Amino acid sequence: MPSTRKTLVRQLFLPIGLTLFAASGVAGWFSLNSLKQSFYDEARRDLQVRAEIVRPHFASRLNSANVSKLQPLCREIAETARARLTVVLPDGQVLCDSHEDPARMDNHASRKEFDRALKNEAGFAIRSENRSGKPMMFVAVPVVVDGPVRGAVRVSRPMSEIDSTLQGVGRPLILAGALFALTAVALLYYFSRRIIGNIKEIQSGAERFTEGDFSFRLPLPVVSEFNSLSRTLNHMAVQLDDRIRTITEQRNEQQAILTSMVEGVFAIDRDETVIHMNEAAGRLFGVDPRFAQNKPLQAVVRNTRLLAFVTQSLESRDLQETDIELDWEGQVRYLQTRGTVLRNTHKESIGAVFVLYDVTRLRKLETMRRDFVANVSHELKTPITSIKGFVETLLDGALESPEDARRFLGIVSKQAERLNAIIEDLLSLSRIEQDSDTGAIVTQECHLREVLENAICDCAPKATQKGIRIDLDCAKELIANVNPPLLEEAVVNLVDNAIKYSDPEKRILISAAQSSGAMTIQVRDEGKGIDQQYLPRLFERFYRVDKARSRQMGGTGLGLAIVKHIVQAHGGSVEVASTPGVGSIFSINLPKNK
């Protein structure tokens, strides 16, 4: 579609220039017409004077019977007067004519100039001559002899002579008018270009301002109005620079705050279109925040509960809260969601902002706390109940039977030992956690093989009882920066579990290797293995896959939890891989030596 915008030259110079030309043309036309009319009037008066000068020559001859001498006289006088001369009687008969034979000329009674002259008035007419067809100016004056009008004398000149004189005067006038118009247009164009030049300088400066170059300053023109405009624009640039800097700093601060927040934050407008989303919210929804910008929320979030909460928050005036479960990377995340309406300066609702608190870890910790309390209560209650029951039995008379008393006291002793083991493991676990949090664990460089050999010695009696062989694969020169007693305890717990859950005559392999500076210790057994569904919770306190068998073997349910915390205290991690019917592999991954 063609542009309808017009340049200043087209809007200013062309109309004014055309107006000047039109005005000059109209003025010239009126001037020429006035000049022409003045020339015609002057020519008429000149012919009338000539006619009046000639008239006495014919007045004395109109009554004469001999008019044959009028024709030569007419020609003679016409040559002197330098005009055509015609004498006509009242009935229109031509007596003489300086240019034609009177006998061959028509009756002139109907001629306008003669009609006026015969009424004793000067007659005037401009028309084409009958014979030549050339335009002529005619002036006729009456010839009065003794009272009545006896005839008329007419003097005429070709219009070409008058027009030639007029052209001689009019042509310079036209040239002067054209020169004036051209000079005016040239001056108009010059000043228009100067104005346009100033405007273009201001436009160029304004474009640089729009591009963000607020350090540029417009030159100050001589013209007062443009000078004032340039000063105003320069002042505006300074103010805009200050305001944009302030806004940019505030935006960067807000962006930095939102980006660094672990809580997810997103804002929408009244149409539920995303207007902002931080990185944390993008991670929760599994989208790029830049992709979510200006997209409908339904295209970004697939959780129906959250979408319903968003709609509810937009319609409410108060702060809204709810808990939402979100499927995130194949895991359930628990989000505490708060939403509030966004308002503009006029207190009108323009959208809503939402904050997502990921409370998954808190939920898990709460679940673990409840499970821990329940498990601790259960684990402690069992031996205490057993001890209390057998003590009451002894008090009720079993002491009288030495055999029963000895058997009951043995059970009480065994339950007391179990209770003591649970308390010791809890204290050990608490101590490890406390030392890990305060950084009180002291590490040293030592030969890893010695630590592993000490652990094997501690577990050797139990392994021998079941006929289980423990092999070690660790280079003697392998050195690790660890706390030897704690690492030994972790390995002992892993080996002890491997012995407990392996059938007789099986093999346990302890290996250690270093890769890229990191250390990996593995305990591999050939036991019954663990089903995949139990692996994620295996290192929780008091968690048992087979609770009855675990208690029967004297386990407290805290061994693997102690292993996990010892490894974490070293800055490492522990993993397990297991196949039912094949065996399990527990891996302790320690970071590079510092």
Domain 263-358, CATH: 3.30.450.20
Looking at domain 10-165, its CATH superfamily turns out to be PAS domain (3.30.450.20)
Whether 150 contacts 144, CB under 8 Å: yes
Residue-wise pLDDT tens digits, 152-201: 888 888 877 777 766 666 677 677 777 777 787 777 777 777 777 777 77
Distance separating alpha carbons of residues 455 and 521, to the nearest angstrom: 13
Q: How large a percentage of the chain has pLDDT more than 70?
A: 84
In the three-class reduction of DSSP (H, G, I as helix; E, B as strand; rest coil), residue 192 is classed as helix
> Which residue is associated with the tokens 């220039």?
17
Lowest mean pLDDT among 88-102, 239-253, 404-418: 404-418
Residue-wise pLDDT tens digits, 397-437: 777 777 777 877 887 787 777 677 667 766 666 666 666 55
Q: Which uninterrupted H or E stretch holds 241?
A: helix 224-260
Longest dimension (CA), the chain: 207
Does 547 score more than 60 pLDDT?
Answer: no
Residue-wise pLDDT tens digits, 472-505: 888 888 888 888 888 888 888 888 888 888 888 8
Tell me the average pLDDT of the chain.
Answer: 79
Structural tokens at position 329: 């990377």
Taking the domains of the chain in order of start, what are their residue ranges?
10-165, 218-260, 263-358, 376-438, 444-590
CATH number of this structure's domain 444-590, picked from the four choices 3.30.70.2190, 3.40.50.150, 3.40.109.10, 3.30.565.10: 3.30.565.10
Q: What is the DSSP letter of 224?
A: H
For the whole prediction, is pTM greater than 0.95? no
Residue-wise pLDDT tens digits, 278-296: 888 888 888 888 888 888 8
CATH number of this structure's domain 376-438, picked from the four choices 3.20.20.70, 1.10.287.130, 3.40.50.1820, 3.30.200.20: 1.10.287.130
Which residues have CB under 8 Å from 88's CB, separation 6+?
94, 95, 108, 111, 114, 140, 151, 152, 154
* pLDDT for the residue 477: 86
Instruction: Taking residues 52-67, report their average pLDDT.
Output: 72
Residue-wise pLDDT tens digits, 34-43: 777 777 888 8
Does 352 score more than 80 pLDDT?
Answer: yes
> Which residue is associated with the tokens 């004189």?
165
Does 71 score more than 50 pLDDT?
Answer: yes
Fold equal for 10-165 and 263-358: yes
Distance separating alpha carbons of residues 232 and 151, to the nearest angstrom: 88
* pLDDT for the residue 69: 74
Distance separating alpha carbons of residues 588 and 572, to the nearest angstrom: 7
- The sheet with strand 583-590 has its strands ordered as 469-473, 507-515, 518-524, 583-590, 573-579
Q: How many CB atoms lie within 10 A of CB 429?
A: 18
* pLDDT for the residue 65: 47
Does 1 score more than 50 pLDDT?
Answer: no
Look at strands 135-144 and 123-128 and give their pairing: antiparallel
